[in-house]
Amino acid sequence: MSRRILILYTGGTIGMLSTGDGYVPMPGFHDRLLQQLDSRATGQLPAYDLIEYGHLIDSANLVPAHWQRIARTLAEHWAQYDGFVVLHGTDTMAYSASALSFMLPGLDKPVILTGSQIPLAELRNDALDNLITALLLAGNCDIAEVCVCFNGRLLRGNRSRKVRSDGFDAFDSPNFPWLGRVGIDIELQTHRLLPPSEPRFEIPDFDPAAVVMIPVFPGIPADLIETVLQRPGIRGLVLQTYGVGNPPDADRALIAALERATAGGIAILNISQCQQGAVSQGTYATGATLNRIGVIPGADITPEAAFAKLQVLTGLGLAGDPLREALGRPLRGECTA
């Protein structure tokens, strides 16, 4: 196998060790990996190098600046490697996979995120299998997009979600078929993959306060929406509504707050709270209200991808009609047109 892969170890459960305070990220991942790999089998893996970040994070502590750091590392080493594996914590892996897909809008190589539910250092773990599978996919398959590989599933990164906290099958893509399945054989659904394109990197300087996400709930106070949208620096809101995109339109104060926000230049992206299905503003009169006040329907985009898309686009300086237009269509296969 002639391909060469770069592994980025950013932190997460896969490299944690047990302490008196629970699992924490620890340096020295490469040595632990070599201890786990059977030397008789390493010849079947692609050649790889590993970069271990000096500051490892539990992914619950992830902030948008970490996306910037990962993307810059990929850009810096893009020409030297044939594929990339990013080791990441599971809690926010879907957010990072989504953000990277928008910051890397042109790809000719695979970027595959993986991690584990049990650390590599534990005798019984899912870490080694996930990492080996990700390496084989990055080294063997003509993938040109950001993916999540977990428990034998290859998922489009910006369609992925963590759907279970206590199973090895932690990730799925509820609104899009898997890109591949790894069992006895590697079954890649090539017709679903994005086509390769000229590599391009668009890495913004993020303002973590620019985008917020609020779920609608019965009796949600209008002043909660008002207060959030009046905070300095707010440029986008992901609004999670009921069913096919229905808000409580009987609450006139809440609708007025949303209308004032859109009139003031804040982009509001409406997504469904349902795990499966899409927003269809106008199917019900309640949803049609959002059409009238300028809220953007998010189709079947995931919350993670919606948040990341707004963060990246506003970080790149988009505003007004260009931002609305970009939010309303798929950029990297993140939603159905």
Contact (Cβ atoms closer than 8 angstroms) between residue 141 and residue 186: yes
Nearest by Cα to 238 from 250, 229, 230: 229
Both tokens of residue 256? Answer: 């007025």
Burial class (CB in 10 A: 0-12, 13-18, 19+), 102: buried
Specify whether 286 is catalytic.
no
- Considering the candidates 90, 92, 114, 241, report the single residue annotated as catalytic: 90
> Are the C-beta atoms of residues 325 and 115 closer than 8 Å to each other?
no
Answer yes or no: 13 catalytic. yes
What token pair was written down for 288?
Answer: 């049609």
On whether the CB atoms of residues 86 and 111 are closer than 8 A, the answer is yes
Q: Count CB neighbours of 68 within 10 A.
A: 18
The DSSP secondary-structure symbol of 209 reads: T
Beta bridge partners, 52, equal: 9
**Radius of gyration, CA atoms only, the chain:** 21
Between helix 252-263 and helix 285-293 the angle, nearest 10°, is 30
* Pairs from 64-69 (Cβ < 8 Å, separation ≥ 24): 64/99, 64/206, 64/208, 64/311, 64/315, 65/206, 65/208, 66/10, 66/96, 67/96, 67/99, 67/100, 67/103, 67/206, 67/308, 68/103, 68/203, 68/204, 68/205, 68/206
In this structure, are residues 306 and 298 in contact, taking their beta carbons and an 8 Å threshold? yes
CA distance 266 to 2: 49
Catalytic residue among 10, 13, 241, 289: 13
> What's 91-105 look like in SS3?
CCHHHHHHHHHHHCC
CA-CA-CA-CA dihedral for 7, 94, 75, 81, to nearest 10: 30
Just list the catalytic residues. Answer: 13, 90
